[in-house]
């Protein structure tokens, strides 16, 4: 079968298409024929060697790419052959990822695909939806939450899920995205720019109870949080110093098929474009250029 891997770090040109044996599922696993795989920022960081430099991925001769998958079960346990499923690969130091024609995942990392979604649509859900949900789980408040990067794939889901929990949501995104972000459920909107802490405090005296910093603003977002509040960072090394007694945490995503099934019933797909697997390098270039609202999806 075909798969895309990385043998050396660098730009999109280091992505290689290779022929590898079809993987075999072990106990408690399923093999999925991939219909769609999503391109996420973490794939770019893996390819560039950033995660290895940060100590998140140990040195490896070969690294697979791709966390999100939608496809059909071919073999294994926990699902029937032919079931349409979605799943998340969270073991990122393996030589094969979702950028492939077939993938093996733990059955616990897989959920039935949501009804009415195409494989391309369904593939955009796992990593981004679970990241938003698990980040929000870290926050213990029934008050006000700030979401930076609110037009992005993770940020948009974070806004929607916080709104569903009846939290007051202050969202930050590009000025042109206000209508989009309010549609996700934001109560207040602020355009990107300087003095974020001051502008948030003009809306919420004393500062918000918690911040989900999907845009990796760091100290600028921390300044918007009240003393003793909460802050969630979304990348290795992105957590700011816990000033003013603020509890600062990183969200470290884990696969959870049961939770994914719940999220797939309430969250929309967000597709920015579709490319064939062979054009993964082009997809990486487009994602790096920025400005996407949703995710690019690769189809083997």
Edge-to-edge strand list for the sheet holding 225-233: 188-191, 168-173, 144-148, 208-213, 225-233, 247-250
Same domain, 196 and 209: yes
Using DSSP bridges, classify how beta strands 247-250 and 68-76 pair: parallel, antiparallel or unpaired.
Answer: unpaired
pTM for the full model?
Answer: 0.96
Residue whose C-alpha is closest to residue 231's, from 154, 152, 164, 139: 139
Half-sphere exposure of 99 (CA within 13 A, CB side): 30
User: In angstroms, how far is the first alpha carbon of the chain from the final one?
Assistant: 10
At 159 the three-state DSSP class reads: helix
Half-sphere exposure (CA, 13 Å, Cβ side) for 93?
Answer: 8
Pseudo-torsion of CA 15, 110, 267, 175, nearest 10°?
-20
Q: Please report the pLDDT score of residue 237 as a whole number.
A: 87
Whether residue 225 sits in one domain with residue 190 = yes
Query: pLDDT per residue over 280-296, tens digit each?
Result: 999 999 999 998 999 99
- Give the pLDDT confidence score for residue 241 in this predicted structure: 96
pLDDT beyond 90 at 297: yes
How far from 279 is each of 53, 54, 274, 286, CA to CA, in Å?
26, 28, 10, 11
90 located within any domain:
yes
The domain of 246 spans 139-250
Q: Once rounded to an integer, what is the mean pLDDT over residues 79-85?
A: 98
How many Å apart are CA 155 and CA 67, to the nearest integer?
Answer: 18
* Residues 194, 294 within the same domain: no
Instruction: Tell me, yes or no, whether 230 lies in a domain.
Output: yes
Residue 101 and residue 7 in one domain: yes
**Do both 107 and 168 map to the same domain?**
no
Asked whether residue 187 falls in the same domain as residue 87, the answer is no
Asked if the model's pLDDT at residue 111 lies above 90, the reply is: yes
Same domain membership, residue 282 and residue 240: no
Helices (H), 34-184: 41-48, 50-53, 119-122, 126-137, 153-164, 178-184
Examine residue 179 and state whether it is found in any structural domain, yes or no: yes
Closest CA to 219 of 203, 235, 233: 233
Tokens encoding 174:
């590009």
Residue range 88-92: mean pLDDT, rounded: 95
Residue 198 has a pLDDT of 98
Q: State whether 99 and 19 are in the same domain.
A: yes
Q: Which of 158, 182, 170, 156 is nearest to 292 (CA)?
A: 156
Same domain assignment for residues 152 and 50: no
Q: What is the number of other CB atoms lying within 10 angstroms of the CB of residue 152?
A: 24
Determine the pLDDT at residue 178: 98
Same domain, yes or no: 244 and 285: no
Q: At 43, which CATH number? A: 3.90.180.10
The residue among 70, 95, 71 whose CA lies nearest residue 81 is: 71
**Of 218, 234, 250, which marks where a domain is finished?**
250
Same domain, 118 and 147: no
Q: How confident is the model at residue 236 (pLDDT cuts 50, 70, 90)?
A: confident
Q: How many domains does the chain have?
A: 2
DSSP state of 42: H
Asked whether residue 134 is domain-assigned, the answer is no
For residues 101 and 167, membership in a common domain is answered with no
Over residues 82-95, mean pLDDT: 96
Segment 5-64, tens digit of pLDDT: 999 999 999 999 999 999 999 999 999 999 999 999 999 999 999 999 999 999 999 999
Average pLDDT of the chain, as a whole number: 97
Please give the DSSP secondary-structure letter assigned to residue 14: G
Each residue's pLDDT tens digit, 127-151: 999 999 999 999 999 999 999 999 9
Give a yes or no: residue 132 inside a domain.
no
In the sheet that holds 15-19, the strands lie side by side as 15-19, 2-6, 63-64
281 is a domain residue: yes
Whether 133 is in a domain gets the answer no
* 75 in a structural domain: yes
Neighbour-count burial for 256-283, b at 16+ CB within 10 Å, e otherwise: bbebbbebbeebbbbbbeebebebbbbb
Cα separation, 11 vs 281, in Å, equals: 9
């Amino acid at each position: 079968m075909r798969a895309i891997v990385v043998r050396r770090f660098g730009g999109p040109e280091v992505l290689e298409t290779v022929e590898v044996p079809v993987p075999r599922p072990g106990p408690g696993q399923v093999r999925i024929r991939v219909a769609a795989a999503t391109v996420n920022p973490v794939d770019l960081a893996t390819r560039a060697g950033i995660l290895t430099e940060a100590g998140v991925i140990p040195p490896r001769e070969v690294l697979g790419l791709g966390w999100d998958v939608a496809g059909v079960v071919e073999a294994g346990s926990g699902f029937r052959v032919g079931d349409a499923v979605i799943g998340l690969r969270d073991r990122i130091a393996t030589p094969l990822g979702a950028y492939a024609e077939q993938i093996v995942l733990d059955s616990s990392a897989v959920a039935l695909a949501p009804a009415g979604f195409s494989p391309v649509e369904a593939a955009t859900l796992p990593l981004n939806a679970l990241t938003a949900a698990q980040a929000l789980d870290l926050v213990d408040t029934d008050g006000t939450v700030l979401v930076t990067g609110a037009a992005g794939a993770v940020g948009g889901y974070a806004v929607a899920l916080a709104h569903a929990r009846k939290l007051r949501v202050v969202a930050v995104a590009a000025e042109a995205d206000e209508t989009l972000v309010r549609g996700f459920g934001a109560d207040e909107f602020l355009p990107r720019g300087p003095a974020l802490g001051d502008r948030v405090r003009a809306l919420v005296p004393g500062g918000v109870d918690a911040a989900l910093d999907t845009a990796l603003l760091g100290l600028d977002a921390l300044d918007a949080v009240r003393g003793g509040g909460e802050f969630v960072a979304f990348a290795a090394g992105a957590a700011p110093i816990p000033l003013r007694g603020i509890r600062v945490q990183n969200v470290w995503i884990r696969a959870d098929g049961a939770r994914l099934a719940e999220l797939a019933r309430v969250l929309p797909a967000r597709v920015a474009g579709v490319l064939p697997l062979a054009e993964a390098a082009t997809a990486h270039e487009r994602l790096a250029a920025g400005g996407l609202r949703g995710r690019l999806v690769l189809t083997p």
